[in-house]
Amino acid sequence: MDRDRILLTPGPLTTTLRTKLAMLHDWGSWDTDFNGVTAGVRRRLLDIVHGHDSHVVVPLQGSGTFSVEAAVATLVPRDGHVLVLDNGAYCKRAGKLTQMMGRRVSVVGFDEDASVSPQVLDEQLRADASISHVVLIHCETGAGVENPLAGVAAVCQQHGKGLIVDAMSSFAALPIDAREVRFDALIAASGKCLEGVPGMGFVFIRQAVLDGCAGNSQSLAMDLHDQYSYMEKTGQWRFTPPTHVVVALAEAISQFEEEGGQPARLARYADNCRTLIDGMRRLGLRPFLKPEHQAPIIVTFHAPDHPAYDFKRFYAAAKTRGFMLYPGKLTTVETFRVGCIGAIGRQEMQQAVNAVGEVLREMGIATAPA
Amino acid sequence: MDRDRILLTPGPLTTTLRTKLAMLHDWGSWDTDFNGVTAGVRRRLLDIVHGHDSHVVVPLQGSGTFSVEAAVATLVPRDGHVLVLDNGAYCKRAGKLTQMMGRRVSVVGFDEDASVSPQVLDEQLRADASISHVVLIHCETGAGVENPLAGVAAVCQQHGKGLIVDAMSSFAALPIDAREVRFDALIAASGKCLEGVPGMGFVFIRQAVLDGCAGNSQSLAMDLHDQYSYMEKTGQWRFTPPTHVVVALAEAISQFEEEGGQPARLARYADNCRTLIDGMRRLGLRPFLKPEHQAPIIVTFHAPDHPAYDFKRFYAAAKTRGFMLYPGKLTTVETFRVGCIGAIGRQEMQQAVNAVGEVLREMGIATAPA
């Protein structure tokens, strides 16, 4: 049957029909009507982090990684020194893009099955006064770990260091309150927990550091200070915005608000995550992370320890049944991942578990409680 | 009535309902089905320039300007020297982004009401052997000028210089044949003459220079060599693609092919342009450019020389009647612009002319043949 599959991936994810229907119009990017959409999105994004008194928000075309690179390029001066707290693939990517743009970068490594440590950060900052900025991935979806944003932010504040948070997969689901947690920049994107379609990111920048960002970026496209200044002056994006993506995001935010905002979204995702983990355990599939490190965003499972298991066959058989799983991203252990986010609830998660059970039996892999 | 207005702008433009309906599905960006869409788009883009034997094509997230910056960052070595042929706002932007990324850049200026000169380019290249690359804007939509791609390409080839062509507003409408015209990179985007929605660009890169591009870019996001290598290896985009924009582009390309490809599209746009200019002349509105410089993409008109004229009122009144005009981008003369591109034909252009006539009469501006 011609029915969309459920995307159990960390974005692009399943969106509502209402969100997609918003894309059935063409908008002039120069027009005041579209400027109104942009302004509304920016205002409501600031609502979500309670950031109106402390931050501005700057949208940017491209994938989330474009916004991460733009945040580093815009926030960190040319002679800055960035410390990346690394417990996974997205941390490594942040380190790489910082190094490529010619900023000095240091990386402190942590195990990928646990959160990064504010205490270790404190030691690093004591040991090297040249560090100007710290990069934290809030939810490292490589394994699915939630990192301690509040603890890291407190240490950065004590030391007077700038904090750049990649909150790509956590924003709008995990609580982030700019009145309580100090960050210089925080980055997310349209196609994640706000349940829009992919195509743009956005960066919250602390007002106190904004003016100092002028001239930092060596990239025109990635210059968030320039993007901000132009948008404030004209209401428009500097370069052609992905108009359909922007209006879909506006529509997705309306549904986010109607659902009850971040607490409601977290509750639904947490329920999805519990339904998933409980169901998979009954099939004999073990989550890779300990519960205390697991964010309710994406769950890494150990692959079945069975000669008949093969990810491609497993994936294809689940897809046939209407569910798109996600490959593992760990280098040392064979795993697969299942997202808990998107416009899906307990029913879809239970159906996904049922489908995985069928697939394992079809592959001749015993399903027994782990 | 709740009916979409006609966008007489150089993109985002009016797209067909069929193109927009393609966005009513969610796609897994890792999945083979989506990889198939990407591969099909890339193959058909190469068809359009007859480039299969000479070029590869690399799609990139973001607006067209992102792809222009990426092309310069990827093609031009750190010690390269770029000459920009400048006859308008988009040329100046190309010069600025080149300078910002730290590449040496020279700009040779031309009048904005005429095409750039291959002969002047020849003199420049004779005078300064350090120039490694030339940047040409094929259709400079600041005023609407068509620049001589073939002539510029021939001079670059004679001198053994790399040519980077911003064909944002010309690709798929004006003829470009990679078998006859040599370019190292040529850039366009989804939301222009292919009549897709905005959100991604793409860059044709000559195979002979591709390997030499590795390591040039200081930006991870903008590194087209890295994007290319990853896509060849995996079939996937490096970072989350704007999935809905990509499937809309695939659908738009199908309609482009069904219409008869580039010759048919050019014929329709040329007819649109004639209908527009003839109609506007009858209203007393003069095009800014001489016919020999005018590309059938966007037309700059002198604003009426009348005290009652005000662009904002003019724009608002045309919008009320269902037509979105575009402001002028010239600094010295008061003008406005009207696009000829998008999923529109002679009827829409004539209706637009009729609406402009009504607006002028409403504003108390005499309409008499120029």
Q: CA-to-CA distance for B287 and B325, rounded, in angstroms?
A: 15
Q: How far is CA A342 from CA A242, A339, A346, A348, in A?
A: 21, 8, 12, 11
pLDDT score recorded for residue A369: 67
Q: For the CA atoms of A100, A106, A111, A114, what is the dihedral angle to 10 degrees?
A: -100
CB-CB under 8 Å, B24 with A21: yes
In this predicted model, what pLDDT tens digit does every residue of A6-28 receive, in sequence order? 999 988 999 999 999 999 999 99
Q: Assess A5–B contact: CB distance below 8 Å, yes or no.
A: yes
- Which ipTM did the prediction report? 0.97
Q: CA-to-CA distance for A324 and B30, rounded, in angstroms?
A: 9
Q: CA-to-CA distance for B32 and A8, rounded, in angstroms?
A: 15
Per-residue pLDDT, averaged over B91-114, amounts to 97
Residue B135, C-beta contacts closer than 8 angstroms, at least 6 positions apart: B72, B82, B83, B84, B85, B91, B94, B95, B98, B164, B165, B166
Residue A276, C-beta contacts closer than 8 angstroms, at least 6 positions apart: A299, A338, A340, A349, A352, A353
* pLDDT above 80: residue A2: no
pLDDT score recorded for residue B369: 67
* pLDDT above 70: residue A49: yes
Of B13, B61, B93, which has the smallest distance from its Cβ to A63's Cβ? Answer: B61
Per-residue pLDDT, averaged over B301-321, amounts to 96
Q: What's the token pair of residue B344?
A: 């529109």
The closest alpha carbon to A244, from B60, B278, B20, belongs to B20
pLDDT score recorded for residue A175: 98
Cis peptide bond upstream of B12, omega within 30: yes
Residue linked to tokens 């027009």: A31
Report the SS3 class of residue B50.
coil
Question: What are all long-range contacts of B288-291, with beta carbons under 8 Å and residues at least 24 apart?
Answer: B288/B113, B288/B143, B288/B144, B288/B330, B288/B333, B288/B335, B289/B113, B289/B143, B289/B144, B289/B145, B290/B113, B290/B114
Per-residue pLDDT, averaged over B190-213, amounts to 98
Segment holding A339, helix H or strand E: strand A335-339
Residues in chain B closer than 8 A to A102 (CB atoms): 218
* pLDDT above 70: residue B1: no
Q: Does domain B17-258 have CATH number 3.40.50.2000?
A: no
Task: Provide the b/e sequence for B106-136 (b: ≥16 CB within 10 Å).
Answer: ebbebebbebbbbeebbebbeeeeebbbbbb
* pLDDT above 70: residue B152: yes
Q: Assess A12–B contact: CB distance below 8 Å, yes or no.
A: yes
Strands (E), B87-193: 104-109, 133-137, 139-140, 145-146, 162-166, 185-189
* pLDDT above 60: residue A370: no
Residues in chain A closer than 8 A to B243 (CB atoms): 12, 197-198
Contact, B136 vs B152, CB < 8 A? yes
Q: CA-to-CA distance for A175 and A138, rounded, in angstroms?
A: 11
Q: Assess B292–A contact: CB distance below 8 Å, yes or no.
A: no
Residues in chain A closer than 8 A to B25 (CB atoms): 4, 20
The closest alpha carbon to B74, from B287, B229, B305, B179, belongs to B229
Contact, A31 vs A241, CB < 8 A? no
What proportion of chain B, given as a percentage, has pLDDT over 90? 96
pLDDT score recorded for residue B170: 98
Per-residue pLDDT, averaged over A249-268, amounts to 98
Q: What's the token pair of residue A248?
A: 């879909």
Side chain identity at residue A134, one-letter code = V
Q: CA-to-CA distance for B288 and B285, rounded, in angstroms?
A: 9
Query: Mean of the per-residue pLDDT values for chain B?
Result: 96
Report the SS3 class of residue B337.
strand
Residue B254, C-beta contacts closer than 8 angstroms, at least 6 positions apart: none
Q: CA-to-CA distance for A352 and B54, rounded, in angstroms?
A: 46
Contact, A256 vs A167, CB < 8 A? no
φ, ψ of residue B78 in degrees (nearest 5) = -55, -30
Contact, B46 vs B174, CB < 8 A? no
What proportion of chain A, given as a percentage, has pLDDT over 70? 99
What proportion of chain A, given as a percentage, has pLDDT over 90? 96
Q: For the CA atoms of B353, B357, B362, B365, what is the dihedral angle to 10 degrees?
A: 130
Intervals of CATH 3.90.1150.10 along chain B:
6-11+261-362
Q: CA-to-CA distance for B106 and B109, rounded, in angstroms?
A: 10
Q: What's the token pair of residue B329?
A: 């981008």
Q: CA-to-CA distance for A310 and A333, rounded, in angstroms?
A: 14
Side chain identity at residue A366, one-letter code = A
Q: How far is CA B67 from CA B59, B168, B186, B189, in A?
A: 8, 10, 10, 8
Contact, A7 vs B240, CB < 8 A? no
Q: What's the token pair of residue A298?
A: 């994406």
Of B13, B14, B221, which has the smallest distance from its Cβ to A66's Cβ? Answer: B221
Residue B230: pLDDT band with limits 50, 70, 90 = very high
Q: Residue A85, CB half-sphere, CA atoms under 13 Å: how many? A: 34
Q: How far is CA A131 from CA A208, B96, B316, in A?
A: 19, 31, 52
Q: Assess A319–B contact: CB distance below 8 Å, yes or no.
A: yes
Report the SS3 class of residue A140.
strand
* pLDDT above 70: residue B306: yes
CB-CB under 8 Å, B198 with A12: no
Residues in chain B closer than 8 A to A191 (CB atoms): 240
Q: CA-to-CA distance for A38 and A186, rounded, in angstroms?
A: 19
Task: Provide the b/e sequence for A243-274 (b: ≥16 CB within 10 Å).
Answer: bbbbbbbbbbbebbeeeeebeebbebbeebbe
Report the SS3 class of residue A164.
strand
Segment holding B86, helix H or strand E: strand B81-86
Q: Residue A155, CB half-sphere, CA atoms under 13 Å: how many? A: 22
In this predicted model, what pLDDT tens digit does every residue of B314-366 receive, in sequence order? 999 999 999 999 999 887 899 999 999 999 999 999 999 999 999 999 999 97
CB-CB under 8 Å, B326 with A239: no
Residue A1: pLDDT band with limits 50, 70, 90 = low
Q: How far is CA A67 from CA A45, A241, B27, B268, in A?
A: 15, 14, 22, 38
Residue A366, C-beta contacts closer than 8 angstroms, at least 6 positions apart: A284, A306, A360
Q: Assess A189–B contact: CB distance below 8 Å, yes or no.
A: yes
Query: Mean of the per-residue pLDDT values for chain A?
Result: 96
Q: Assess B191–A contact: CB distance below 8 Å, yes or no.
A: yes
Q: CA-to-CA distance for A359 and B279, rounded, in angstroms?
A: 66
The strands making up A162-166's β-sheet, listed across from edge to edge, are A55-61, A200-206, A185-189, A162-166, A133-137, A81-86, A104-109
Per-residue pLDDT, averaged over B242-249, amounts to 98
Q: What's the token pair of residue B15?
A: 């797209």
Work out whether the CA dihedral B254, B257, B263, B269 comes out positive or negative: negative
* Comparison of pLDDT for A353 and A333, the residue scoring more: A353
Measured CA angle at A62 (ends A60, A64), to 5 deg: 85
pLDDT score recorded for residue B10: 87
Q: For the CA atoms of B262, B267, B269, B275, what is the dihedral angle to 10 degrees?
A: 180
Intervals of CATH 3.40.640.10 along chain A:
17-258
Say which CATH architecture domain A6-11+261-362 belongs to.
Alpha-Beta Complex (3.90)
Of A7, A65, A218, which has the smallest distance from its Cβ to B221's Cβ? Answer: A65
